[in-house]
Structure 1
Amino acid sequence: MTRYIRRAAALCALLLVALLVNAARVQIVQSSTYDDNPANRRPTIARYGQPRGDIVVGGQPVTGSKDTGEQLRYERTYHDGPLYAPVTGFASQVYGTTGLENAADGILAGTDPMLSLLPLWNGVSRDRNPGGKVVTTLAAGAQRAAYEGLAGRRGAVAAIEPSSGRILALVSAPSYDPGELSGTNSAVTSAWDRLNGDPARPMLNRAIRQTYPPGSTFKVVTAAAALDAGVIRDLDAPTRSPDPYPLPETRISLTNEAEDCEDASLRYAFEWSCNTVFAKLGVDVGLKDMTATAAHFGFNDKGLRIPFPVAPSNFDTKLDAPQLALSSIGQFDTRATPLQMAMIAAAVAGGGSVKSPYLVERTTTSAGGTVSATSPRTLHQAMNPSTAARLREMMTDVVRKGTGKNAAIRGATVGGKTGTAQHGIGNSGTPYAWFISWAQADNALEPAVAVAVVVEDASARRGDISGGGDAAPIAKAVMEAVLRS
């Protein structure tokens, strides 16, 4: 009898061990499978069961949470939603997350292990920490100046601190209110359909996700390549450039809107944007050096994140001579985001060094303890410091006496470059108006800000240099806001 009792006890013990092993397998090994199962609503309910952490600009939160009392209890709210939408993105119970709401989701939702003193225990117990905070690098005044400058027009603005890469402004117009996508009612679906069906594409982040032909603003890159390669040694020497310039291997001649471009010096050609001079310079520099210089400025970089991804700007690496000539004046297939063009202006202002742009200063716990912090990092040395100094000199001339006079600021040195970019079938579209610039207060040791502005629906007549009239005043307002702060 005792023997049967022992066998029964052993069988029960074996079954108990099997039960414990299976429970461990379900709760630990296969937990992610069940968590990710669309039929399992518990993670979603838990995710919205507490307030989401805030995104902070200038010491003030620009986000919040509202208690709805429903199953998905807390909805995301936004202060000045359209102003900050290109940075925050949206957090929607229905459509997910974008922007910083996506890139910093772990911190904001409270799931990041770094928020806990005992992350391993939290992983076992499934406890959720209060949502942390994301402190941005934005300057509130610069962000608002850019937003108000673009009011009623399509375009984008990006502003960077040259010495560090901190993003001071990131604006896309038209914008949208991300709060319209919070919640689960029918109004959210209607807002989603309306925003996605809008031909103006308000949810497109034009500052980092849209690339444009940069037009004459790209001549900064071509000038840097020519100076570094030794093709140009004297800014005031004739460049032996014909006007019009016959594109190599073709019967097509390139002309200018500006006057007196034949044999113009680099200084004059830069100040008045002579296409013929820069097209010839690109060919003289050669494809290898032009592509290398463009890459050093950040073109063709598919891995840039700020922390959400940035669309790569393009400078083709396989071009024949006429294509290289056109690419060197920012046409053909050359395309750039406004952030990329701000990086170019920042490199000139910062002595030739391209800093990695970043949008998050630090992340913290809900109580304010630092979780992580971003340190400045150099991506590339785009050009020699002496070349950057000569480009600063020429960009200053553009604002002081050339096409960029509308960007001049009393009490500061401002350098800039205007540009227009043709587009559409047969270049029939209104040219995009560009202006890139930097500013340094007279009593400061280094430039405080570099800006890029693009206006899609510029008001200038075709063929006019509209960057100085449409984009430069917006850049000026942004630079003034940074200098005041």
Structure 2
Amino acid sequence: MTRHIRHAGVFCALLLVALLLNAARVQVVQAPEYDRNPANRRPDIARYEEPRGDILVDDRPVTGSRDTREHLRYERTYTDGPLYAPVTGFASQLYGTTLLEKAEDGILSGTDPMLAPFPLWNDFTRARSRGGDVVTTLDPAAQRAAYKGLAGHKGAVAALEPSTGRILALVSAPSYDPQPLSGNGAAATKAWRRLNVDPDRPMLNRAVRQTYPPGSTFKVVTTAAALDAGVVRDLDAPTGSPEPYTLPGTRTRLTNASRGCRDASLREAFTLSCNTVFAKLGVEVGATDMTATAHAFGFNDPALRIPFPVARSTFDTSLDQAQLGLSSIGQYNTRATPLQMAMVAAAVANGGQLREPYLVERTVRPGGSTLAASGPRAVRQAMYPSTAVRLRALMREVVENGTGRRAAIRGAKVGGKTGTAQHGLGNSGTPYAWFVSWAQGDRDLAPRVAVAVIVEEAEADRGDISGGGDAAPIARAVMEAVLAHQR
């Protein structure tokens, strides 16, 4: 009898071991497979069972969470959704996340291991920490000024603090409200379809994901290359530029929109925005030095993130001389995001040093303690300091005596460069109106803000469209908002 009991006990022990091994196989070995199974709703239910952390502007949340009391309990809400959509993106229970909501999803959703009280604690307990908050670098007054200025237009604004790279404003127009996309019902599906068929593409972040021909604003880069290479030493010396200028190896004759460009000095050509002078200068600088300078400003960089990825701005590296001439005036294959052109203005304002832009100031735990802080990124020398000094002087003359007068701010030093970029088949499209600038208050030791503005469909006759008329007033409003904000 004892032997049978012993055999039964051994058999039960073997069954228990088999049961434990199978449980371990299911819960450990096959857990990733079950987690990925579309029929498994537990990850989604767990993801939305707690409120999501917030995105903060000037330490105030522009996002929130609403308790729906459904299986996917908490739904994302947005304050001033269209104003901040180019920064926050959306967090949808159906369509996922974009922009900051995606780049900082680990912090906001509570899945980042750094939020756990102890290392590997959440892996062991399979628990989820409360979501942390993301504090942005945005200046709310500058953001509102840019948004208001672009009302009724297609376009974008990017504003930076030159000395640090902090992004002060990032606006794309037309914008959209992310709120209707947050849920998982018919309303979210309808909003998604409506936004995706809209020909104005409101969900496109034109400030960082769309590239444009920069037109004459690229002449800032060409000027930096010419001064650094020693092709021009005296700003007031004649450049020997004909009008029209025949592009090398072609019969194509380049002309100017302004008079007085024949044999103009660099100072005169910059103020008048003479295409002939800058195309000739680009050819004289040469493809190698022009490419190196464009790279130093950030062109052709595929890795720029703020923390979400930025579209690569391009300067073609395989050019003949005619193509180089066109590229040097911001045409041919030269393309840039508004953020990239704000970086160009910021490098000039910061003595030739370029700080890579960043949007997240710090991330914080639910209790408010700092989890991680960003701070200024590595510096890159875009041009010689002496070149930056002379470029600042040239940009100030554009605002004081040239095509950028509408960007002037009483009591402040303002530098700028206008641009009108042709595009479309045979340049048939409505020209893009550009303006890049920087501003320094009367009590500031250095420029406080650098701005780039592009207006895609300016409200003017084709011949009257200009960066100075359409984009400069928007840049001025943004710069005024930043300067009015005392440190």
What TM-score bracket applies, with the shorter chain setting the length? Answer: over 0.9
| Mapping for residues 386-465 of structure 1, pairs under 5 Å | 386-464=386-464
Q: How far apart in 1 are the matches of 2:390 and 2:459?
A: 32
* Distance (whole Å) between structure 2 residues aligned to residue 135 and residue 437 of structure 1: 26
CA distance in 1, matches of 2:293, 2:19: 65
C-alpha displacement of 1:6: 5.0
- The residue type equivalent to 1:318 in the other structure is S
Aligned to 1:97: 97
Paired position in structure 1 for 2:139: 139
Aligned-pair CA distance for 1:57: 0.4
The 3-state SS of whatever aligns with 2:462 is: coil
Give the whole-Å Cα distance in 1 for the aligned partners of 2:355 and 2:29: 43
Give yes or no for the alignment of 1:342 onto 2:327: no
| Structure 1 position 364, deviation (Å) | 0.6
| Map of 2:250 onto structure 1 | 250
Q: Distance in 2 between matches of 1:97 and 1:118?
A: 28
2:77 aligned with 1:77: yes
- TM-score (structure 1 length as normaliser): 0.98
Q: CA deviation at 1:28?
A: 2.8
Paired residue secondary structure (1:264): coil
| Structure 1 range deviating more: 9-18 or 375-384 | 9-18
Provide the residue aligned with 1:229 in structure 2. 229
Q: CA deviation at 1:322?
A: 0.6
- 1:179-227: per-residue Cα shift (whole Å, max 9, x none)? 0101122111111111100000000000000000000000000000111
Query: How far, CA to CA, are the matches of 2:30 and 2:366 in structure 1?
Result: 31
Equivalence for 1:174 = 174
2:87 and 2:38 mapped to 1: Cα distance?
A: 29
The equivalent of 1:360 in structure 2 is 360
The gaps in structure 2 that reach 5 residues or longer are none
Deviation at 1:165, TM superposition (A): 0.5
Which stretch of the first structure deviates more once superposed, 13-22 or 471-480?
A: 13-22
Q: How far apart, in 1, do the equivalents of 2:118 and 2:124 lie? A: 10
Deviations 1:332-378, CA, capped at 9 Å, x for gaps = 11110000000000000011111111100001111111111102112
Corresponding letter in the other structure for 2:34: Y
Matches within 5 A, 1:37-436: 37-436=37-436
State how far apart, in whole Å, the 2-side matches of 1:448 and 1:29 are: 55
How far apart in 2 are the matches of 1:15 and 1:282? 81
Q: Percent identity?
A: 73
In 2: Cα distance, 1:227 partner to 1:289 partner: 11
Q: Distance in 1 between matches of 2:152 and 2:62?
A: 23
- 1-structure distance, mates of 2:17, 2:289: 69
Counterpart residue identity of residue 247, structure 2? L
Q: Does the CA contact (< 8 Å) of 1:403 and 1:465 recur in 2?
A: no
Aligned-residue offset at 1:8: 5.0
In the TM superposition, residue 30 of structure 1 has moved relative to its aligned partner by 3.0
Q: Is the 8 A contact 1:419 1:465 kept in 2?
A: no
For residues 258 and 378 of structure 2, the distance between their equivalents in structure 1, rounded to whole angstroms, comes to 37
Could you give the per-residue CA deviations for residues 71-126 of structure 1, whole angstroms, max 9, x where no partner exists?
11111110000000000000111111111111111111111111121241211111
Q: Which amino acid aligns with 1:39?
A: A
- Partners of 1:202 and 1:223 in 2: how far apart? 35
Q: Aligned partner of 1:476: which letter?
A: R
Aligned-pair distance for 1:380?
Answer: 2.2
Structure 1 residues 354, 11: CA separation in 2 closer, same or farther (over 3 Å shift)? farther
The alpha carbon displacement at 1:141 in A equals 0.2
| Structure 1 gap ranges (5+) | none
Deviation, 1:460, is 3.6
Q: Distance in 2 between matches of 1:15 and 1:287?
A: 77
SS at match of 2:127: coil
The one-letter code matched in structure 2 to 1:181 is L
- Name the SS for the 1:170 alignment partner: strand
Q: Give the deviation of 1:128 after TM superposition.
A: 1.3
Q: Deviations over 1:374-413 (max 9, x none)?
A: 0211252111111111111100111111110000011110
Work out whether residues 257 and 463 of structure 1, in 8 Å CA contact, stay in contact via their aligned partners in 2.
no
Partners of 2:306 and 2:67 lie apart in 1 by 31
Aligned residues: 485
2: CA distance between counterparts of 1:36 and 1:329?
51
Separation in 1 of the partners of 2:378 and 2:324? 28
Deviations 1:438-465 (A, max 9, x none): 0011111111100000000013433446
Contact 2:399/2:414, CA 8 A, preserved across alignment: yes
* Structure 1 segment 2-13 matched on structure 2, within 5 A: 9-13=9-13
